[in-house]
Structure 1
Amino acid sequence: MLYSSAASASERVYDEVKESILTNELAGGELISEGDVASRCEVSRTPVREAFLRLQAEGWMRLYPKRGALVLPVTERDAREVVDARKLLEGHAVRAAVATDTSTARLVARLQVNLEDHRLVAADDVAQFSRLDAEFHQLIVAAGGNELLAGFFTGLGERHRRMASTSVQRDPRVVARILADHTELLHLIEARNADGFDAALQRHLDDVHDLPGGLQ
């Protein structure tokens, strides 16, 4: 990304800190200081303060004067709400997408490319793995043809990435589970089995994110 003005220093800090949160490099509960981030990004404290205020407004952190910024953890309620919203949006999109052979084939082709890219990611590249994981599900919602819902899902995608990063770092076996589950979801879409997709998606999200009702 290019940054071309003085104001862009704040944008750059915002992007870097937010990416660190989404990839769990900055974990929930961690307290970070303006000074440390300013040194790391080689900027003054002013753009750091502006970036922190923006991240606080978006719900990623909470500021404490003279102490720093607390990276807010993902609570069980947060995770459940994101997962519930995703089930509704993806299930609705699949029903629209599998209405015709053409739209089904188009979605299957795009998901196959995503899975091929996903399998090539290095095991320790959490950032890229979580990005492709989010993309897989975004492709499904976009295939539903509802731009309003697709736009809403884009906002969920960032929280999706953070939750996926956390799960992978908690248990590396999650990587294989995600790839296996995505393969199953793709096959169900190819078979135009929307009910089967709903059931498999619920298992996938509950298990990967270790939510009550999922595998422990």
Structure 2
Amino acid sequence: MTGREDDKRLVVGAEERATLEAWAEQAGSGLGLRSRIVLACADGLSRKEIAARLAVSSATVAKWLARFVERGLDGLADAPRPGRPRSTGRQEAERVIAAAAGGSAVPSTRSMARQLGLSQSTVARIWQEQQIAPPASQVLPRELLSDRVYALLRGWIVSGELVAGQRLVEAEIARRVGTSQAPAREAIKRLAHEGLVISYPNRGSYVAEISDEQAREVRDIRVLLEEYAARGAAARIQPETLQQLTGDVLAMQRAAGDGDIGAFRDADLAFHRRVCAACGNSFLLRLWRTIESNLWSLHVVGNPLYEGDWMAMAGHHDDLVTALASGDPDEAARLFAAHARGEASRTRPRTRPSA
């Protein structure tokens, strides 16, 4: 399911919109009304405007938008009602779904919904009522479920299977990997901490969209700030600051060893923030804090998509500490600028001539 959002509107993907528009044509049906609510929000209308246009309460608008954000298209369906007689069409659907589940290739609920002329949520309910389990090869062991779901989601994002701007729906992820929603929720939170996912309150979570042009511009500014900060810090660095910077490097090394990219990025940002604070110019630290969120969201510091050696990256920071401790402003500025440009692996500390 694709989609993204900004501060004013919910943006849905092409497949979602096509389905919603088809449902919206169902005059007099609850599903049609709910689809029109979501489409109106996607077109930029406020909840108050939607309520007035569709002659419903604002609470109704809020309810179905929240359901859509949480569960996607499935969230727009009615909950199953106890005792409701099953139609001949439903009985036929149950037979087809049971037969499909017994095949070698299990189709998606979306494709079966199209085949049967039913909503995807109805097919999903029948699927669950029949207690059809995912294929054994897709069922994850109970231990460390959130870690396994995290690894799968991260792999799909890095490979491009989940594209930038795509909405991540916990219920769909859980169904796909054969778990409850809790591991999917924890995995999404972890990816959000790394910067690969962006979560918006009451809107949902989306694969982060990165602008190469914005990243280049922010990186250029970072080079200027880092070079200036290193030059000033090298001239006045204090032993306690060097000790703190060494602690940040150790934290990066621990995170690299644990494969915890979020923790690595935290320590990485703390390291560079500390150098800015040590340079003796309070306004530089303010400037750094101004762009820090962009350094994080645009992956300019500790790029979570980095495929190299994270332990080696931590080691490059150790070289930076050594350069500051040397008291040589030019050497420190050279190494920090190269590091900010992403050239740390090709820029080594100069060897001092022996006395």
Contact 2:338 2:344 in 1 (8 A): no
Cα 1:151–1:207 change in 2 (3 A) is same
Unaligned runs of 5+ in 2: 1-153, 158-162, 172-180, 183-196, 348-355
What is the root-mean-square deviation of aligned Cα atoms in Å?
Answer: 4.0
Q: Does 1:149 align with 2:296?
A: no
Deviations 1:140-164 (A, max 9, x none): 0111233332122123323333416
Cα deviation, 1:162-215, whole Å, max 9, x if unaligned, reads 416873434042x123212101111110012222222222332333799xx99x
Residues of 2 paired with 1:161 and 1:118: CA distance?
Answer: 16
Residue aligning to 2:166:
31
Which residue of structure 1 lines up, in the alignment, with residue 293 of structure 2? 158
Per-residue deviation, 1:72? 5.4
User: Which residue of 2 is the match for residue 178 of structure 1?
Assistant: 313
Aligned length: 165
Give the aligned partner of residue 82 of structure 1.
218
Distance across 1 between alignment mates of 2:170 and 2:254 = 38
Q: Give ranges in structure 1 of 5+ residues lacking alignment.
A: 1-23, 42-59
Query: C-alpha separation between the residues in 2 aligned to 1:110 and 1:25?
Result: 34
What is the aligned partner in structure 1 of residue 239 from structure 2?
105
Distance 2:156 2:333 in 1: 33
* Whole-angstrom distance in 1 between the partners of 2:301 and 2:281: 28
TM-score, length of structure 2 as denominator length: 0.38
Q: Counterpart amino acid of 1:113?
A: G
The 2-side partners of 1:179 and 1:135 are apart by 13
For residue 269 of structure 2, what is the amino acid of its counterpart? Answer: A
Shift of the 26–181 alpha-carbon distance from structure 1 to 2, 3 Å rule, reads same
Cα distance between partner residues in 2 of 1:147 and 1:180:
28
User: RCO higher in 1 or 2 (8 Å CA, sep ≥ 6)?
Assistant: 1
1:202 paired with 2:337, answer yes
Q: Between Structure 1 and Structure 2, whose CA radius of gyration is higher?
A: 2
Query: Percent of counterpart pairs with the same letter?
Result: 19
User: Is the 1:164–1:209 Cα contact (8 Å) retained in structure 2?
Assistant: no
Distance between the aligned counterparts of 2:305 and 2:314, measured in 1? 16
